[in-house]
Amino acid sequence: MQGDAPVVIPGVDGSNLVPSVVALDPMPADGGRPTVTVGNSARKTLIESPERVIYSVKRLMGRGLEEIQDELKLFPFRLADDVEAGEVPRIQLGELRFTPPEISAYILRQLKRNAERFFGAPVTQAVITVPAYFNDAQRQATKDAGRMAGLEVLRLVNEPTAAALAYGLDRANVGTIAVYDFGGGTFDISILKLRDGIFEVQSTNGDTHLGGDDIDNLLLTIALDEIYAEHGVDLRLHPGAVQALRKAAIEAKIRLSSEQFASFDIELPNGDRYQREIPRGVFELLIEPVLARTAAPCKQALTDAGITADQVDEVVLVGGSTRIPAVRSLVDDLFRLAARGKKPHTELNPDEVVALGAAVQADILAGASKSTEEMLLLDVTPLSLGIEALGGTVARIIQRNSTIPASATEHFTTGVDGQTNVAIHVVQGERELAADCRSLARFDLKGIPPMTAGLPRIEVRFLIDADGILQVSAREQRSGLAAEIEVKPTYGLTDEQVETMILDSFDHAEEDFAKRLLIEARNEAESILSKVGGVRTNPAWGQLTGEEQSAIQAAVTHLASVNQGDDMSAIREATLALDKATGRLAELMMDAAVSTALRGKTMTAAGEQLEEAVTAPHAMAPAEFK
Amino acid sequence: MLKVIDSAVPVACWSCSVAHNDVTLFCPHCSKIQPPPGGDYFSVFGLEERLDLDLAALEHEFHRLSRKVHPDRFARSGDNERQWSLADTALLNDAYRTLKDPLHRTEYLLKLRGAEIGEEHSGKDRKDPSRVPADLLEEVFELNMQLEEMRTAHKMGEEDPDLQASLEQAKRKFDGLEQEVDQDLRKQWQLWDNGDAAARKAAEKTMVALLDRRRYLSNLVRDVTETLGAE
């Protein structure tokens, strides 16, 4: 938060987005553990050695082996060959294997580091957003990932709700909002009622396996089939080429949001070229079935909220896929916007709005700021919670769209004399039969005092907490003994497993953290010093006034001297000062090199745009150092 | 069901140990949040047991209490406070969810008064002919036949406009019957809220029967809607 407004922290590469691409770097020659690269820099590896890269891991979070078969067909995910049914699937990346929460933890750790860089202080707590329609296991897996990354997860916030928070800061105070969140891998719709700072979710619905990825795969499949038919080349046998084609498909998709045509031009391994033009009309016909899958959840959410489309005051669009014009016209139809003289809200960047909302929620949790003091988010559980009853039917104990935290108490007894344990099967979903719902966990109530059948009265309390995660407690009422509960999550890691997967423990130690920051600061200082040293031969140097030259010289001398010491903030301040002092020099160099369009940039920016060796290290907004 | 604690019995505050009556969310002495208070859902909102509620006032009170007890307000507090905030908010949400819905509220109050009410969520006995309200026996029999025909037609991919129209008419009729029940219930609310012990007893008996009928009708309407909706 900067003042009252949340801001997005950019990464080392200056970009506000860290794509969820994770690459395993080559094995070091000494046989040590290879490092992991995250984000834009991992993208390169996707084409060079796709077997070392994974993306869209969100689709695999909290899911069992049998559930991810469809994903495996469409994505270049390679399961480790020794995974057994009932286990958390592991993904083969090069020589190593990772569970989805571990992959996710690498992404979170990158974000944590970006934030630490920005603040110049350790970051230990986080608010993490999840698709609203995530079930218990998917939420738990996300929380596990946070723990592995060395973060205490203060709250899981549903993405559409977070978006509403981001918009709500400066918006009118009463009304009904629909948030249509169509992202890369998931679709959510949430209906909220806003009143005096209280954001009360009325209903939510969605599909955790529907998103931009599906559109990419559609284009990809068509291209692959055409290439096979026209050129006799089965590109599927060349994973690197498939990824290059996927990249082209994504670019075509993006272009079609602003233009009427996009084209493929790909060189095939046999030297042929695959060239193909796609008019927007054809693209829209193609993706229509994918987009149509968002309509039913919207209608259900309206029904569950007990309102009609006409009663929705405002619609907020979230997620990159809402840039597609066909998506916008579908939303317009669903909520009769144009007919009512309304427009959806798109003022905030659809890729960033969720993160901005998470920052608002973090501010609420911190209780530190006036601007969020009056705000409170009341969210709901997206799926009904039930227990398997006799005959495999489901007895619903907490209905979907109940405000969380929510609880229910059920009583159980024994069926046989002297029975000391009772098994309970908890499921999540809307179907009548337990077999059709998602198995959440099996509980074994143990330690029931031996009594005549039917006499024990075991009270089990189910509580869905503010993160949407189930907690269970039980007590035998006649003896007053708390029954021991053994939870076997159907899909998920045990606490012990999570413990062993915690990424490099040094992230926790303050001392090591300070050391790391110091090393980083020194590297940055040395890098700018060597670059400034080199530019003195540049003709632009001669164009500087004597004063400017000596100012740079003084900044260089100062930086070189503090860089001998251990004062991290002094080094970073001096680095910043030098970067500032070289501002006009950078400008002059650019004037000489390229058009005047780049005027006004510092050395850092100029270097990036010129792709010269003049990059200053801190391509991000400067933090305040103490 | 909620634990029943005699509110005349003082309970010691977990934090400052000063005794207080167990009906408060916050210790009157040290202001720390307390474990879920005893009493029923009505008492959560400081209300007497009654059926005709001012829903706007209820919502307002729900929001006011949410601001005070919600876990978001205790994110930086100790384990005890976090635990009680979670438990209190769950109670508050459960209470609001139950009381704001007219049918759930009626059912809840009747249960508090010791009435035996069919389990809504079991769903398994709704085909049981003995549960069909006597005056509807004939129509329900007819309707079930038509529903069966309609499902068969759907399966065969056939359309039967006459059958469709007749089912739609049946749906309207049962919708109307549901509304009648709702009106009857409201009348009973008045009798209960304003009556003496004997009047209340009588109203309770009537409401149990009305709720049974209401549940039966809404299951029926749901079946018809589902069958009509399935293409």
Res B230: pLDDT: 55
Measured over the CA atoms of residue B67, residue B69, residue B70 and residue B75, the dihedral's sign is: positive
**CA–CA distance, B32 with B15 (Å, rounded to integer):** 7
Interface-testing mutation among B59, B83, B89, with chain A (most A C-beta atoms within 10 A): B89
* Closest-CA distance of chain A to residue B69, Å: 11
Cβ atoms of B58 and B93 within 8 Å: the answer is no
Judge whether B35 is closer than 8 Å to chain A, CB to CB: no
* Closest-CA distance of chain A to residue B183, Å: 20
Q: Kindly state whether residues A280 and A317 are assigned to the same domain.
A: no
Residues of A with CB under 8 A from a CB of B: 154-155, 195-196, 198, 200, 361, 364-367, 376-378, 386, 389, 391, 393, 395-397, 402-409, 432, 463, 465-466
Beta strands in chain B (DSSP E): 10-12, 19-21
Report the domain count for chain A. Answer: 5
Q: Kindly state whether residues A550 and A420 are assigned to the same domain.
A: no
Tokens of A600: 């006004």
CB contact under 8 A, A397 and B121: yes
Tokens of A405: 């935290």
Q: Kindly state whether residues B81 and B16 are assigned to the same domain.
A: yes
User: Would A139 be classed as within a structural domain?
Assistant: no
Residues 6+ apart with CB under 8 A from A422: A412, A413, A414, A444, A445, A448, A458
CB contact under 8 A, B121 and A391: no
Please report the residues numbered 152 through 211 in chain B whose beta carbons come closer than 8 angstroms to any beta carbon of chain A.
none
Task: Find the CB nearest A405 among B67, B75, B86.
Answer: B86
**For A392, how many CA atoms within 13 A lie in the half-sphere containing its CB?**
7
Task: Find the CB nearest A395 among B90, B94, B122.
Answer: B122
**CA–CA distance, A478 with B106 (Å, rounded to integer):** 30
DSSP labels, A294-348: THHHHHHHHHHHT--GGG--EEEEESGGGGSHHHHHHHHHHTTTGGGT---B--S
User: Would B36 be classed as within a structural domain?
Assistant: yes
Q: Kindly state whether residues A335 and A394 are assigned to the same domain.
A: no
What φ, ψ does residue A520 adopt, rounded to 5°? Answer: -60, -45
Alpha carbon distance, N-terminus to C-terminus of chain B: 42
Res A120: pLDDT: 85
**CA–CA distance, A527 with A614 (Å, rounded to integer):** 9
Contacts of A397 in chain B (CB under 8 A): 121
User: Would B114 be classed as within a structural domain?
Assistant: no
User: Would A625 be classed as within a structural domain?
Assistant: no
- The 3-state secondary structure of A225-290, one letter per residue: HHHHHHHCCCHHHCHHHHHHHHHHHHHHHHHCCCCCEEEEEEECCCCCEEEEEEEHHHHHHHHHHH
- The 3-state secondary structure of A445-485, one letter per residue: EECCCCCCCCCCCEEEEEEECCCCCEEEEEEECCCCCCCEE
CA-CA-CA-CA dihedral for B82, B86, B92, B97, to nearest 10: 160
**CA–CA distance, A216 with A565 (Å, rounded to integer):** 52
Q: Kindly state whether residues A394 and A430 are assigned to the same domain.
A: yes
CA B19 to chain centre: 34
* Closest-CA distance of chain A to residue B65, Å: 11
The residue from A89, A119, A149 where one domain ends is A119
User: Would A615 be classed as within a structural domain?
Assistant: no
Judge whether B67 is closer than 8 Å to chain A, CB to CB: yes
Tokens of A222: 């068509």
ipTM of the complex: 0.84
Q: Kindly state whether residues A271 and A299 are assigned to the same domain.
A: no
Q: Kindly state whether residues B36 and B92 are assigned to the same domain.
A: yes
Residues 6+ apart with CB under 8 A from A36: A22, A23, A24, A25, A106
CB contact under 8 A, A198 and B70: no
Judge whether B56 is closer than 8 Å to chain A, CB to CB: no
Quick one: pLDDT band at residue B189, thresholds 50, 70, 90? very high
**CA–CA distance, A418 with A434 (Å, rounded to integer):** 28
User: Would A616 be classed as within a structural domain?
Assistant: no
Task: Find the CB nearest A376 among B66, B86, B97.
Answer: B66
The residue from B54, B81, B100 where one domain ends is B100
Cβ atoms of A322 and A351 within 8 Å: the answer is no
Quick one: pLDDT band at residue B55, thresholds 50, 70, 90? very high
CB contact under 8 A, A389 and B86: no
CA nearest to A113, candidates A96, A131, A126: A126
Structural domain span for residue B156: 129-229
CB contact under 8 A, A393 and B123: yes
Using CA coordinates, name the residue in chain A closest to B3. A409
Q: Kindly state whether residues A229 and A103 are assigned to the same domain.
A: no
CA nearest to A98, candidates A47, A143, A145, A32: A145
Alpha carbon distance, N-terminus to C-terminus of chain A: 18
**CA–CA distance, A518 with B20 (Å, rounded to integer):** 54
**CA–CA distance, A614 with B6 (Å, rounded to integer):** 77
Using CA coordinates, name the residue in chain B closest to A375. B67
User: Would B166 be classed as within a structural domain?
Assistant: yes
CB contact under 8 A, B63 and A364: no
Determine the 3-state secondary structure of B117 from DSSP: coil
DSSP state of A621: P
Average pLDDT, chain B: 82
Contacts of A193 in chain B (CB under 8 A): none
Q: Kindly state whether residues B202 and B133 are assigned to the same domain.
A: yes
User: Would B31 be classed as within a structural domain?
Assistant: yes
Contacts of B90 in chain A (CB under 8 A): 405-407, 463
User: Would A5 be classed as within a structural domain?
Assistant: yes
Tokens of A203: 């209903």
**CA–CA distance, A161 with A179 (Å, rounded to integer):** 8
User: Would B123 be classed as within a structural domain?
Assistant: no
Instruction: Tokens 């679709």: give the residue.
Output: A187
Residues 6+ apart with CB under 8 A from A164: A177, A179, A190, A192, A194, A199, A316, A357
Determine the 3-state secondary structure of A2 from DSSP: strand
Contacts of A367 in chain B (CB under 8 A): 73, 75-76
Interface-testing mutation among B1, B4, B66, B72, with chain A (most A C-beta atoms within 10 A): B72
Res A153: pLDDT: 93
C-beta atoms surrounding A199 within 10 Å:
22
CATH number at B69 reads 1.10.287.110
Task: Find the CB nearest A198 among B1, B63, B97.
Answer: B63
What φ, ψ does residue A64 adopt, rounded to 5°? Answer: -90, 170
Report the domain count for chain B. Answer: 2
CB contact under 8 A, A198 and B66: yes
pTM score of the predicted model: 0.80
* Closest-CA distance of chain B to residue A342, Å: 28
Using CA coordinates, name the residue in chain B closest to A459. B1
Q: Kindly state whether residues A20 and A70 are assigned to the same domain.
A: yes
User: Would B183 be classed as within a structural domain?
Assistant: yes
CATH number at A541 reads 1.20.1270.10
- The 3-state secondary structure of A377-393, one letter per residue: EECECCCCEEEECHHHE
CATH number at A400 reads 2.60.34.10
Cβ atoms of A623 and A120 within 8 Å: the answer is yes
Provide mean pLDDT across the span B10-35: 80
Tokens of B51: 């059926």
CB contact under 8 A, A405 and B123: no
* Closest-CA distance of chain A to residue B195, Å: 32
The residue from A275, A290, A305 where one domain ends is A290
Tell me which amino acid residue B87 is.
Answer: A
* Closest-CA distance of chain B to residue A465, Å: 7
Using CA coordinates, name the residue in chain B closest to A411. B1
Q: Kindly state whether residues A172 and A297 are assigned to the same domain.
A: yes
**CA–CA distance, A89 with A77 (Å, rounded to integer):** 11
Res A544: pLDDT: 86
User: Would A232 be classed as within a structural domain?
Assistant: yes
Task: Find the CB nearest B71 among A395, A402, A405.
Answer: A405
DSSP state of B1: -
Using CA coordinates, name the residue in chain A closest to B71. A466
Please report the residues numbered 13 through 32 in chain B whose beta carbons come closer than 8 angstroms to any beta carbon of chain A.
none
CB contact under 8 A, A366 and B63: no
A438-446/A422-428 β-pairing: antiparallel
Judge whether B89 is closer than 8 Å to chain A, CB to CB: yes
Using CA coordinates, name the residue in chain B closest to A153. B75
CB contact under 8 A, B97 and A376: no
What φ, ψ does residue A441 adopt, rounded to 5°? Answer: -165, 160
Q: Kindly state whether residues A483 and A575 are assigned to the same domain.
A: no
Helix (H) / strand (E) element for A554: namely: helix A546-562
Q: Kindly state whether residues A334 and A190 are assigned to the same domain.
A: yes
User: Would B182 be classed as within a structural domain?
Assistant: yes
Strand partners, A277: A263
Block means of pLDDT (10 residues each) for chain A, 626 residues, are 85 84 83 80 81 87 83 76 78 87 93 89 92 91 92 94 82 81 91 91 92 90 89 84 87 92 86 88 92 94 94 93 94 93 90 93 86 87 88 87 93 84 86 86 81 84 91 79 66 74 53 70 83 79 87 90 85 87 82 53 48 34 31
Res A340: pLDDT: 92
Res A585: pLDDT: 84
What φ, ψ does residue A434 adopt, rounded to 5°? Answer: -60, -35
CB contact under 8 A, B72 and A432: no
Res A87: pLDDT: 79
* Closest-CA distance of chain B to residue A407, Å: 6
**CA–CA distance, A97 with B82 (Å, rounded to integer):** 37
* Closest-CA distance of chain B to residue A120, Å: 22
Measured over the CA atoms of residue A51, residue A53, residue A55 and residue A57, the dihedral's sign is: positive
Q: Kindly state whether residues B94 and B141 are assigned to the same domain.
A: no
Determine the 3-state secondary structure of B113 from DSSP: coil
User: Would B108 be classed as within a structural domain?
Assistant: no
Strand partners, B136: none
Tokens of A144: 């596990």
Q: Kindly state whether residues A175 and A302 are assigned to the same domain.
A: yes
Contacts of B94 in chain A (CB under 8 A): 406-408
Cβ atoms of B213 and B174 within 8 Å: the answer is no
CB contact under 8 A, B86 and A402: no
CATH number at A24 reads 3.30.420.40
Under 8 Å CB pairs connecting chains A and B tally to 70
The residue from A95, A119, A143 where one domain ends is A119
CB contact under 8 A, A403 and B76: no
* Closest-CA distance of chain A to residue B194, Å: 31
Q: Kindly state whether residues A358 and A394 are assigned to the same domain.
A: no
CB contact under 8 A, A409 and B1: yes
User: Would A141 be classed as within a structural domain?
Assistant: no
Structural domain span for residue A234: 212-290
CA A599 to chain centre: 36
